[in-house]
Chain A
């Protein structure tokens, strides 16, 4: 079962779209790969909930940021591949810049190192 700690879920909600787009920069991929890549790249901190992944993919497709086609997977299975569109690339640049700005702002507020707080 996916670990569903509150902050994690919240974090994912805003950034899942961005991460999916980022994953697709390296090439077309199907849902399973996308989830795996995100999990591996985050050193298994982020687990992609399937209940969020597929609605997110469809949302991105609706907004014309990704396109999809049916193809054959490495294991010879019928799989739906997603491809980053030009519009999606633009969106990714925009999102990345915003994210960087946000991350920097939060880091500044929190100070160089995160203080140990006794809870």
Chain B
């Protein structure tokens, strides 16, 4: 009530009492008493003035608040007295809380927060389900032919839109700006309205724009608009030259707009209407899967309902179009699930790992507090004996751990902020990474974390100070043989838990690391050092005829080969490790026709004859095709080993046989002239059967230049780009990178996960080791006189060493067993994150067990050694 002005009230009452005394004395004198008697009687009547003051003070006090304030200052004082302990404990808390807050922020922003669209819960991504020769695959892209039928059939249940997010355009040089290749998306005119997002400048596409005959229109992403036009609003209405054709800019998307799915990051810089920009034939094709469908369900409709409707339709489509590459099933998931499917498991695993670290941190702080309680047992006993309330003593423990957690939380949130900055820089390719932020919820989570940690650590230590033990402290204090063994028991229990969690983390880290190593060392099929790649694609407006394209490519590679420092160079449609690059269903001409709906799925690569030796693909049989086999004479192919296995399972000689595109009996056939070694299209997937055919012909308008050098191949990037620029100043070059960098990019996610989990595991290991050391060091101190007596009575130093060592190692051993058992169950959860590594990898488990034992041994050795070297006289005198 008047809690804040009680000091004033106290002064007042002192003044009042002074007045009372004076009046009373006057009155007594008036009654005829002597001065002394009058004073004495007045004092007697007043009573004890201090008591009055105290009573008033208490009356003006909110007991709990006052007690807390006192506890707080008391706890702060005790913590200040042992700055080492305080610093270590707060740091441990900060690590635990910081890591958790950071991961929580990521999980919330990436996995849980809704997408920035209108009513995002109603939005779904629709895919086709298919079977290829690697087995059933889910969530495959969609063909425009099927989509057209879906859209009509589902008009009552959902609004459906089409998007093809993996397109590219060459933007021409103009007004001093360099030519560049930009990632782009084709979309149906209702794509933006289906998402519920409108351009911030200009207008969205209209149905009239989405036709082959319409004028060319383009909508810019916010980033592209800022970069290319410096954020000038008058960009709308201007012409942008893409692939050597003029497009009218009709709109600019807001900065907040993102589109990302499982197959496309948020990379599209320009958007064009699919009906205008895609080849018209593609829009009625059932076997070319170039799109992703999105659907906004109408009120009351469900995904299951929509899918059953589409599935019935798709089965009919498969009957009407029985080609092998027509799919017969439709599937879908929410757009959010689709965007984050790749990161879900790893983020949850990381959050789990940080949770373990925090639990270990709490256990460690609890253990430290227990040790302090034990060390202060006499103080506590005396206070309890003098009437210190149990609740009061417990409150003090809690206050101490609360202060530690507060400090940890404050430092932790700073750490979390730093960690998030780092993450956003390290993983720019991650979907929704732009949404990561520390907001109110994350702050509230931090506060909650602090309170939970404080209560957890505080209660464990507080409850360990049992009232019986407190008084026992006075009795056992005189002769310390068995002092505090009960409390050490509790700490050993905590240690078992700590070691167990550490083992789980270590096993997880070990598996991820092994998987990462496997991934990194996967053989791409070619030597990866000193190989530079860059991509260009020729706009068909300027290079209309196949002969023009071939002439350009041939001239270009000739120039590149003559550059100083270039050992070898070649052209290919897609370099190893750099992606799928197109496939087709094929059949062997000499074999009987295959059953309907089946075919040989083979990946297609165009390459010039010099490519094979330049990149390091070995010829196993037959010959490479020649420079002369081009254009209309380009009907020759070279198969990879795995393609031979797929096409000729009967071990026949493939040379001289023929392949045909599709499963029909018409169309050109291609003669097989050679067999070469396999390469991987991406490092994390198995080898796919591939064929090579001449890039001079076979409709290739773009190529990847592959340059091999003896050393420092990066230094060739500029000269090669200059060669291209000299031949066509408008032609942009993209994806300039070495094969090494390609692999690094592919393995980034795996490297990230394994390094982080390893980091957490190491922290956990250090904490557990510190815990082991602390408990044993404490035990040794407690048993100093006992050990002294033992040694004085003739115990061998080695015996003492063994005794103490075993005492410390026992919780470590129990923890190890518990941890290994728990790991065996937990690792099943990360199976999907592992590459060519079994969850129950014996090697990893063995190494973890060994590391843990060594670390535990080292941690226990120091105190045990000290115990065995003890001077018995000094030990006995310590009492």
**B47/A2 in contact, CB under 8 A:** yes
Per a CB cutoff under 8 Å, which of B12, B15, B20, B48 touches A32?
A: B20
For B57, the closest partner residue in chain A by CB is A55
Smallest CB separation, B760 vs chain A (Å)? 56
**B45/A73 in contact, CB under 8 A:** no
How many residues from A make CB contacts under 8 Å with B?
A: 20
Q: Check B46 for interface membership: any CB of A closer than 8 A.
A: yes
**A2/B45 in contact, CB under 8 A:** yes
Residues of B within 8 A of A32 (CB): 19-20, 23-24
Residues of A within 8 A of B46 (CB): 50
**B23/A73 in contact, CB under 8 A:** yes
| Docked complex Cα distance between A73 and B21 (Å) | 13
Query: In terms of DSSP, what is the predominant structure of the interface of chain B?
Result: helix
For B20, the closest partner residue in chain A by CB is A32
How many A-B pairs with Cβ below 8 Å? 62
Residues of B within 8 A of A77 (CB): 19, 22-23
**A50/B19 in contact, CB under 8 A:** no
Q: A1-B44, A51-B52, A55-B59 are in contact. Are A80 and B1 (CB under 8 A)?
A: no
Q: A51-B47, A75-B26 are in contact. Are A30 and B19 (CB under 8 A)?
A: yes
Q: Check B824 for interface membership: any CB of A closer than 8 A.
A: no
**A79/B19 in contact, CB under 8 A:** yes
For B24, the closest partner residue in chain A by CB is A32
Smallest CB separation, A33 vs chain B (Å)? 8
Q: Check A100 for interface membership: any CB of B closer than 8 A.
A: no
Residues of B within 8 A of A80 (CB): 12, 15-16, 19
Residues of A within 8 A of B17 (CB): 50, 54
Binary flags per residue of B217-242, CB closer than 8 Å to A gives 1, else 0: 00000000000000000000000000
For A49, the closest partner residue in chain B by CB is B47
Smallest CB separation, A28 vs chain B (Å)? 14
Per a CB cutoff under 8 Å, which of A2, A49, A62, A78 touches B1?
A: A62
| Docked complex Cα distance between A77 and B23 (Å) | 9
Binary flags per residue of B51-71, CB closer than 8 Å to A gives 1, else 0: 110011001100000000000
| Docked complex Cα distance between A43 and B19 (Å) | 24
| Docked complex Cα distance between A50 and B44 (Å) | 11
| Docked complex Cα distance between A35 and B42 (Å) | 13
**A58/B60 in contact, CB under 8 A:** yes
Q: A49-B47, A62-B1 are in contact. Are A55 and B56 (CB under 8 A)?
A: yes
**A58/B23 in contact, CB under 8 A:** no
For A1, the closest partner residue in chain B by CB is B44
Q: Check B9 for interface membership: any CB of A closer than 8 A.
A: yes
Residues of B within 8 A of A78 (CB): 15, 19
**A59/B19 in contact, CB under 8 A:** no
Binary flags per residue of B1-42, CB closer than 8 Å to A gives 1, else 0: 110000001001101110110111010000000000000000
| Docked complex Cα distance between A15 and B22 (Å) | 27
Smallest CB separation, A40 vs chain B (Å)? 12
A44-89 at interface with B (beta carbon < 8 Å):
49-51, 54-55, 58-59, 62, 73, 75, 77-80
| Docked complex Cα distance between A13 and B51 (Å) | 17
Residues of B within 8 A of A54 (CB): 13, 16-17, 52, 56
Residues of A within 8 A of B56 (CB): 54-55, 58
Residue in A1, A30, A58 whose Cβ sees the most chain B Cβ within 10 Å: A58
**B55/A51 in contact, CB under 8 A:** yes
**A62/B52 in contact, CB under 8 A:** no
For B26, the closest partner residue in chain A by CB is A75
Smallest CB separation, A22 vs chain B (Å)? 20
Smallest CB separation, A42 vs chain B (Å)? 16
Residues of A within 8 A of B13 (CB): 54, 58
A1-57 at interface with B (beta carbon < 8 Å):
1-2, 30-32, 35, 49-51, 54-55
For B19, the closest partner residue in chain A by CB is A79
Residues of A within 8 A of B24 (CB): 32
Smallest CB separation, B59 vs chain A (Å)? 5
**B51/A59 in contact, CB under 8 A:** no
Residues of A within 8 A of B48 (CB): 51
Residues of A within 8 A of B9 (CB): 58
Residues of A within 8 A of B2 (CB): 58, 62
**B52/A55 in contact, CB under 8 A:** yes
Residues of A within 8 A of B26 (CB): 75
Smallest CB separation, A63 vs chain B (Å)? 9
| Docked complex Cα distance between A1 and B20 (Å) | 16
Residues of B within 8 A of A73 (CB): 19, 23
| Docked complex Cα distance between A78 and B18 (Å) | 10
Smallest CB separation, A4 vs chain B (Å)? 10
Residues of B within 8 A of A58 (CB): 2, 9, 13, 56, 59-60
Smallest CB separation, B429 vs chain A (Å)? 66
| Docked complex Cα distance between A73 and B45 (Å) | 20
Smallest CB separation, B247 vs chain A (Å)? 78
**A31/B16 in contact, CB under 8 A:** yes
| Docked complex Cα distance between A59 and B59 (Å) | 8
Smallest CB separation, A6 vs chain B (Å)? 17
Residues of B within 8 A of A51 (CB): 47-48, 51-52, 55
Residue in B9, B19, B22 whose Cβ sees the most chain A Cβ within 10 Å: B19
Residues of B within 8 A of A2 (CB): 45, 47
Smallest CB separation, B419 vs chain A (Å)? 51
Per a CB cutoff under 8 Å, which of A31, A50, A75, A79 touches B45?
A: A50
Residues of B within 8 A of A79 (CB): 16, 19, 23
| Docked complex Cα distance between A35 and B46 (Å) | 11
| Docked complex Cα distance between A36 and B17 (Å) | 14
Smallest CB separation, B29 vs chain A (Å)? 11
B275-328 at interface with A (beta carbon < 8 Å):
none
Smallest CB separation, A8 vs chain B (Å)? 15
Residues of A within 8 A of B59 (CB): 55, 58-59
For A79, the closest partner residue in chain B by CB is B19
For B44, the closest partner residue in chain A by CB is A1
| Docked complex Cα distance between A32 and B62 (Å) | 29
For B49, the closest partner residue in chain A by CB is A50
Per a CB cutoff under 8 Å, which of A30, A50, A59, A62 touches B47?
A: A50
Residues of A within 8 A of B12 (CB): 80
| Docked complex Cα distance between A62 and B3 (Å) | 11
Smallest CB separation, B489 vs chain A (Å)? 50
Can you list 11 A-B pairs, Cβ within 8 angstroms, ordered by A?
A: A1-B44, A1-B45, A31-B19, A32-B19, A55-B52, A58-B56, A62-B1, A73-B23, A79-B16, A80-B12, A80-B16
Residues of B within 8 A of A (CB): 1-2, 9, 12-13, 15-17, 19-20, 22-24, 26, 44-48, 51-52, 55-56, 59-60
Residues of A within 8 A of B (CB): 1-2, 30-32, 35, 49-51, 54-55, 58-59, 62, 73, 75, 77-80
Which 3 pairs across A and B sit closest by C-beta, in order of nearness? Answer: A32-B23, A79-B19, A50-B46
Known: A1-B47, A50-B52, A58-B2. 5 other contacts (CB 8 A): A32-B23, A51-B48, A55-B55, A75-B23, A80-B16
